[in-house]
Amino acid sequence: MNKKDRVVFISNYLEKLYPNTPIPLSHSNNYELLIAVLLSAQCTDERVNQVTPILFSKANKPDAMITLNVEEIYDIIRPCGLAPKKSKAIWDLSLILVEKYNSKVPENFEKLESLPGVGHKTASVVMSQGFGHPAFPVDTHIHRLAQRWGLTNGKNVVQTEKDLKKLFPKESWNKLHLQIIYFGREYCTARGCKGNTCIICKTCYPNRKSFVNSK
């Protein structure tokens, strides 16, 4: 199966398997989404969803968040890991949103990525799932599966994002990145598939014998 055929098969299979793609992180506005995605770095969505209701009950808007101090934020988000760094970033970016953006999350990649604690992946999630702009956020699941499925050379997540954007139509990006994440968690797991067990890996590479180690 060549790359073009793999792309068609993967798209069709994932669409049948996951016709609906709810966002895994619980939120009720774009500020909550931004904070939840920031917290999800090196942390599971499940744990983030346990922590954010407590945090957002106290402050779910920037102007409310800056009434808390960094230590109060830290005490709440501690289970997420990297809490000292994240708590300061949450307070600092909230102050910037209040002072510079009228307490609104900016609808702009460059402005989002200039905020403390917000990298390209976080900005991409907010732009795609919050504002509906085409984006292809690449997490560890997508990076791993793109390599197993022969869609990228796997040098880094930046290259993976570029390669996937070239292969799949723009109108599919926002849904597809979630479909791949769901599949990576459920079927093509880091230890459970290794590139030759799940239905997509076996269909795309029926003669593959060795494991595929993510770069």
Out of 54-58, 150-154, 211-215, give the one with best mean pLDDT.
Answer: 54-58
Asked whether residue 211 is domain-assigned, the answer is no
Q: Which pLDDT does position 212 carry in this prediction?
A: 83
Question: For the chain, how many structural domains are there in total?
Answer: 2
> Could you tell me the residue range of the domain that residue 85 belongs to?
30-130
Asked whether residue 51 is domain-assigned, the answer is yes
In a shared domain, residues 43 and 75: yes
The answer, as to whether pTM is greater than 0.85, is yes
Q: Residue 67 carries which side chain, given as an amino acid letter? A: T
Is 121 labeled as catalytic in the residue annotation?
yes
The distance of Cα 207 from the centroid of its chain, to the nearest Å, equals 32
The distance of Cα 206 from the centroid of its chain, to the nearest Å, equals 30
Last residue of a domain, which of 84, 100, 130?
Answer: 130
Higher pLDDT among residues 100 and 210, named by residue = 100
Active-site hit among 139, 165, 175, 202: 139
Average pLDDT, integer, range 144-170:
95
Is residue 154 pLDDT above 80, yes or no? no
In a shared domain, residues 57 and 8: no
Is 139 labeled as catalytic in the residue annotation?
yes
Confidence of residue 211 (pLDDT cuts 50, 70, 90): confident
| Class of residue 60 by CB neighbours under 10 A (exposed 0-12, middle 13-18, buried 19+) | middle
